[in-house]
Structure 1
Amino acid sequence: MKNLKFFQILALVFVVQEASGQSGWTKTKGEGFFQTSFYTFNSKDYFTLDGERLVTNRFHQQSIVFYGEYGVTDKFTIIANLPLQNFNGFETTETVSGLGDLRLEFKHSLLKKYFPLAISVAPEIPTGKANNFANSTVNDFERINLPSGDGEFNVWTTLATSFALGDFPFYGSLFGSYNYRTQYDGISFSDQVAVGVELGYKIADKVWFNVRMNGLTSVDEITEVTDFVRGDGTEYTSYTLGLSAPVYKEFHLSLTYRNFNDFLFDRKNIYSGGVFGIGIFYNLKPPTK
C-alpha cells in the first residue's frame, strides 16, 4: 500500500461530472428539462502527466447533480449544472463532501430550422470548497486536500450542431468547446479544448438509447507539478452509453455508464474507471398558444 504522502501531489479530477451532451437545438419559449442524478465512481488506476499508469490506493467519488434547461425565448436557453454534493475519499482516508461549482450556460440559436446550430457561453463559478481536507485513517498526522470545487473561475464557449431524420427516431450532435481558465491562489492553469459527438435512437417508440464520445486536451503542455489538485494538464477520451424511459407522465428514468480510453487524447492526470449514473428528469412542456 502506497503512503498517503504520495497522494498529496495527485490530481482530484471530477470524473463523474460530465456536462450533458451539447446540441445545436435550443428549447422553445417556456419549455424546460430538469434532472437530478446520482453518479458513483472508484478506481486504483491513476494516469500521470506523462500518461504512465500507476496503481494507487483506491479513490472513490460520488456526486448528486442538478441539471436544468429552460427556454426564455425560442432562440435563447438558460442552462444550469450544479453538483449539490460531491463526496471524495481514498480507501486510506475519511470521506469529505461539499457543494460543487455552479456552471451557468447561456445558449443562443444561430440557425434553427434546417441546420440547427447554436453557440453558448458558460461561466463556471467557484461555489464549491476549494480546500477540503480528509484525514488519513492510517496515520492520524497525515491528511490530503480533496476539494469539492476547483476554486477557479473559468468560462466555456461552445459551438454545437445537430440533425434529426424527420419522423425516423434518430439524431446526432457534434460540438467543440474552449475553456478559458484563470487561476487559484496565484497559480495559473492551462486553457482546455473539448470535442464531442453523440448519436441517439428511440427503441420501440419508447426507450431512448444514446452513445457519446468526448475528448478533452490542454492547450499548453503541462510537464511540471503545479497544482494538480485543480486538474491542470488533465486529458482524456471518454465514451458514454445511456438509456432513458418514461415512468410517469413527463417523468423519465435515465441510466448511464461512462468510461475512459486513449482514442482521441491519451489519459493524463486522471483516475480512470467506470462511472455509473442514475437519474430522474422531468420535461416541462411549453404553454399552449
Structure 2
Amino acid sequence: MEFQRSLTSKLKAVVLGFMCLISLDITAQSGWTKEKTEGFYQLSFQSLKSKDYYSLEGELLKTNQFSQQSLVFYGEYGVTDKFTIIANWPLQTWNAFETTETVSGIGDLRLEFKHALLKKYFPLSISVAPELPIGRANHFAKSKVNDFEQINLPSGDGEFNVWTTLATSFALPSIPFYGNLFSSYNFRTQYEGVSFSDQFAIGAEIGYHIADIVWVNARLNGLKSVNEVEVATDFVRGDGTEYTGYSFGASMPVYKNIHMSLNYRNYNDWIFERKNIYSSGVFGLGVYYEHKPQKK
C-alpha cells in the first residue's frame, strides 16, 4: 500500500497527542491528598491501534493504521498531610503507521503540586501541574514503501503548558464506595512560533471495593478547546483536540503492598464531539506499590 500523500492533505493536524492522552488518564483527579510520607508508585504499559481519525471538523476519516504503545511511570508522594507531589512521565513511547517504521523516545514530564483546601469532611483540593517538554518534539519515521517519504511521529509535543485542577471527592461511611469530580484548565503556550488554544477538562469517577479484595472503577471525562480551531497549525501538536472519554478499571493485590491493575479506555461524542483525534480502545496493564506510613 502506498504511503498516502493524502495523509498530509486530509490529516493536516492529526493528534499524536496520545502521548499525552494515554498517560494523563492513568489516575483520575481526586480531592484527597496523601498523608505525610505516604506514597503510590505505578508502572504501566498501554497500547492503542486505530484507523479512525476525526478531523478538526469532526469528520471521520479512514487512514493507515496508527499504533502507539507507552511505558508510563506515575507516582504520588505526601510531603505533608495537605501537600502532595505527583509525577506522570512516559518513560518510552513507540509510534508508527502501518506503512512506516516505528520510532520511539521519552515523553514530556508532568509534575503536579497538589494542596488540600479541605480534607476531613469535604475533601477538596487544588493542583498546579506544569508539563515540561523534555520529550523528542520531532522524530521522523521513514516510509517502508517509498524511501524518500517520511512523517513526524514525536514522543513529546515541544510545548510548555500548565494544568490547574480543582477536585472534590466523597466516600460512604458504611459502604466501600467512593466518587470523584474535577475540572481542569490547560494554559498552553507555543512551539516554534505557533500558538495553541487553551483547553478545559471535566471528569467524574466512581469506585467500589468487592469482597475487600478487588477495586473496580468507572470514569467519564471530556476535553474541549477554549477557542475554535479552524485551521490546522501543525500536523503533530494536537491543537483543537476534543473528545469524551470513558474507562473501566480493576485492581487487586498480588503480594503485600504490590497490586496489579487492568484498564480499558475508549472515546465517544456524549459530552464533546471527537475532533483531531485517533479514536479506538486503549488497553492498559500496570503494577503499583503503595507505601503506608506506620501508625504511631
The question of a shared fold, defined as TM-score above 0.5 by the shorter chain, is answered with: yes
Distance 2:223 2:87 in 1: 21
Which amino acid in the other structure matches residue 91 of structure 1? Answer: E
Distance 1:259 1:2 in 2: 29
Distance 1:172 1:210 in 2: 9
Give how far 1:5 is off: 2.8
Gaps of 5+ in 1: none
Task: Find the partner of 2:122 among 115, 119, 122.
Answer: 115
Corresponding residue pairs, total: 289
Kept in 2: contact 1:35–1:281 (CA 8 A): yes
Which amino acid in the other structure matches residue 33 of structure 1? Answer: F
Kept in 1: contact 2:13–2:232 (CA 8 A): no
Q: Could you say what the CA RMSD is over the residues aligned between the two structures, in angstroms?
A: 1.0
Q: Deviations over 1:157-196 (max 9, x none)?
A: 0000000001310000000000000000000000000000
Q: Which residue of 2 aligns with 1:133?
A: 140
- Structure 1 stretches of 4+ with a deviation exceeding 4 A read none
Distance 1:106 1:18 in 2: 15
Q: Which residue of 2 aligns with 1:203?
A: 210
Q: Which residue of 2 aligns with 1:142?
A: 149
Distance 1:264 1:228 in 2: 25
Q: Which residue of 2 aligns with 1:18?
A: 24
Give how far 1:113 is off: 0.5
Kept in 2: contact 1:239–1:259 (CA 8 A): yes
Q: Deviations over 1:232-252 (max 9, x none)?
A: 000000001000000000000
Kept in 1: contact 2:183–2:202 (CA 8 A): yes
Give how far 1:3 is off: 4.0
Distance 1:131 1:264 in 2: 32
Q: Deviations over 1:122-176 (max 9, x none)?
A: 0000010000000000110000000000000000000000000013100000000
Give how far 1:227 is off: 1.1
Distance 2:76 2:264 in 1: 22
Q: Which residue of 2 aligns with 1:156?
A: 163
Distance 1:154 1:18 in 2: 14
Q: Which residue of 2 aligns with 1:283?
A: 290
Q: Which residue of 1 aligns with 2:182?
A: 175
Equivalence map 1:65-144=2 (5 Å): 65-144=72-151
Which amino acid in the other structure matches residue 146 of structure 2? Answer: N
Distance 2:267 2:156 in 1: 22
Task: Find the partner of 1:56 among 46, 55, 63.
Answer: 63
Task: Find the partner of 2:191 among 184, 193, 197.
Answer: 184
Q: Which moved more, 1:6-15 or 1:162-171?
A: 6-15
Kept in 2: contact 1:7–1:144 (CA 8 A): no
Kept in 1: contact 2:136–2:154 (CA 8 A): yes
Kept in 2: contact 1:5–1:142 (CA 8 A): no
Sequence identity, in percent? 68
Kept in 2: contact 1:2–1:57 (CA 8 A): no
Task: Find the partner of 2:279 among 239, 250, 272.
Answer: 272
Q: Which residue of 1 aligns with 2:244?
A: 237
Distance 1:184 1:141 in 2: 26
